[in-house]
Amino acid sequence: MHHADTGETFTLYVNAMGCDSLVISTTNYAGSDTTFITGTTCNPANSGLIISHLTNLNGCDSVISIFVSLLQSDTTHLTTTSCEPWIQEL
């Protein structure tokens, strides 16, 4: 539904006995919902844009956009000095 489809409509009915009935319908535009969520992750497989299309309480389409950015990984350099000929693994 588009907001241009809103307003009142009038429909006149005549039953088999010749009596008139007037039906007045009022249509309001409820609008759709869009929600933007951001987050971070350390896992490259979980990063990127995730879009979900749902229906809100008014029966209108809703869009949830989740953008998950990838955090840079940490790098730690360790330097050791030893008098022993073996290397210790950390």
For the stretch 16-70, pLDDT in tens is 888 888 888 888 776 667 788 899 988 888 889 988 888 877 777 778 888 999 8
The residue ranges of every structural domain in the chain are 3-70
Q: Residue 79: its pLDDT value, please?
A: 75
pTM over 0.75: no
Closest CA to 67 of 36, 42, 34, 44: 36
Greater confidence, 60 or 4?
A: 60
In terms of DSSP bridges, do strands 33-41 and 61-70 run parallel, antiparallel, or are they unpaired? parallel
Q: Residue 86: its pLDDT value, please?
A: 65
